[in-house]
């Protein structure tokens, strides 16, 4: 959702409509806002006397139990997010299962950071692909 229009713009547009014989369409065009937006501002000014933008609302609440998650991190701080997710889902039970991305967002939201692996370590355990050409022997002089 984009940021709301500034209160100063709202105030100027409402005053322009109420102090002239212009229509909603004319004022909306002059201030480069939608006609319905302009009508809502005038109606709100008349009803409540305020033009401040309403607080943003909505969204989803995180299903992650942060206390349980922090307890699991304290038990073994070297777990990967996959391991942490499996441990969380085992401990929380089948009703409160969450995805790895939910665990990751909850950790980031509560201030945890992730240390990058040493260059010699692999970040995930996967099978290596076979090289397409045979390796040459060292020092063969070719």
Q: What is the pLDDT of residues 3-19, one digit of tens each?
A: 889 999 999 999 998 88
Question: Cα–Cα distance between 92 and 2 in angstroms, integer?
Answer: 36
Q: Give the pLDDT score at 25.
A: 87
Planar angle of CA 85, 87, 92, nearest 5 degrees: 90
C-alpha 136 chain-centroid distance:
50
pLDDT (tens place) for every residue of the chain, 142 residues total? 678 899 999 999 999 988 888 888 888 899 999 989 989 999 999 999 999 988 887 888 888 999 999 999 888 887 888 899 999 999 988 888 999 999 989 988 888 876 666 666 544 333 455 556 666 666 555 5
Q: Give the pLDDT score at 87.
A: 94
Q: What is the pLDDT of residues 108-118, one digit of tens each?
A: 888 887 666 66
């Amino acid at each position: 959702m984009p940021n709301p229009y500034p209160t100063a713009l709202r105030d100027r547009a409402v005053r322009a409509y109420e102090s002239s014989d212009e229509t909603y369409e004319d004022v909306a065009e002059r201030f480069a806002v939608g006609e319905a937006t302009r009508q809502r501002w005038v109606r709100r000014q008349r009803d409540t006397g305020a033009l401040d933008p309403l607080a943003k609302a909505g969204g989803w609440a995180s299903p992650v139990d942060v206390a349980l998650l922090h307890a699991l991190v304290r038990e073994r701080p070297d777990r990967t997010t996959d391991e942490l997710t499996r441990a969380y889902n085992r401990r929380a039970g089948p009703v409160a299962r969450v995805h790895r991305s939910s665990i990751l967002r909850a950790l980031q939201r509560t201030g945890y950071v992730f240390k990058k692996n040493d260059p010699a370590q692999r970040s995930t355990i996967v099978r290596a692909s076979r090289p397409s050409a045979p390796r040459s022997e060292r020092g063969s002089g070719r």
